[in-house]
Amino acid sequence: MADLFGVSTDYLLKDELEQNEVQTFVSYETSDAQEVRRVSMEEANEYLDMKKKDAPIIANAVFMCIISPAILILLSGLTSEKSFHLKEDAAVGGGMAFLLVMVAAAVYFFITCSIRESRMEYLEKVVFETEYGVDGMVKEKRNSYEPTFSRGIAIGVVLCIVAAGPLIISGIVGATDYVCCISVSVLLVIVAIGVNMIVRVYIMKGSYDTLLQEGEFSRHEKRAKKKLDIMSSIYWCLATGIYLAWSFWTMRWDITWIIWPVAGVLYAAVSGIMRLIIGAED
């Protein structure tokens, strides 16, 4: 069985003990006779393969979104240099065309990945049990992936930090607008590469946490998210109602927009309080 699943016998033996503990916990938690879904080895491998395939696609789509204005900024800078003989209309047209193509392609990839993953999104939302050997297999794969995850996060964060270097140097030396625009474009490209690496490894790490129901996909977080979703719907509907009522009553649309940043700050506080209440109830 260890050869069949590609894991060690230690993980299978350990998984058998953990499986009994999980079953006891779930049976206590679902004492209302609600059926708990079981995830087989085939489903787990299918989910991991799907995430492995979609991770670079989503990461590249994020990359395209970040670099989409880079050409527009670069061409706008070229118009200030007479030696290039580039008209402003042509620069804006070419830059906007590139931006729209990049964003449209990114949205296409986001939608196709979302549709493909929708049939297995229950793994991220509901509490489930895993069949024999699944936890051991996932833990072994996660442990082997940990160095790649750490390296990807570290390099991605470093790239996002150093990306501002060219722009800072341009400002210090008093560079022309043309050079500053090039620096901004370079900044976007470097940030896009860094974010691409972070998203790519984070999606794979999240797939392991999902199957193991750890971190943000733990049983506690899933129960809390259901209650928070209800609170969030009520909160933002109430905020919208207050905004519209105040705006139409005073007709001061130039002032009432302040509700949204205030509501955003208060939402973080309300969410924190709700989490404390949910934790106390649990």
pLDDT per residue as tens digits for the range 203-243: 999 899 888 888 777 777 777 777 777 878 888 888 888 88
- Residue showing tokens 């900044």: 187
pLDDT at 129 over 50: yes
Could you tell me if 123 and 159 lie in one domain? yes
The identity of residue 118, as a single letter, is: S
| Side-chain half-sphere CA neighbours of 149 within 13 A | 15
Question: What's the mean pLDDT when you consider all of the chain?
Answer: 81
Per residue in 135-191, pLDDT (tens digit) is 888 889 989 999 999 999 999 999 999 998 888 888 888 877 778 888 888 999 999
At 97, the pLDDT band (50, 70, 90 cuts) reads: very high
Q: How many domains does the chain have?
A: 2
pLDDT at 109 over 80: yes
pLDDT at 213: 83
Could you tell me if 59 and 193 lie in one domain? yes
Could you tell me if 189 and 74 lie in one domain? yes
Could you tell me if 99 and 29 lie in one domain? yes
At 57, the pLDDT band (50, 70, 90 cuts) reads: very high
Could you tell me if 164 and 227 lie in one domain? no
pLDDT at 193 over 90: yes
Kindly list the distances between the CA atom of residue 220 and the CA atoms of 20, 44, 134, 163, in Å, as whole numbers in the listed order.
19, 21, 21, 38
Range of the domain at 255: 218-282
Which of 160, 181, 215 is the endpoint of a domain? 215
Give the Cα separation of 34 and 213 in Å (integer): 19
At 12, the pLDDT band (50, 70, 90 cuts) reads: low
Q: Which residues contact 148 (CB under 8 A, 6 or more apart)?
A: 201, 204
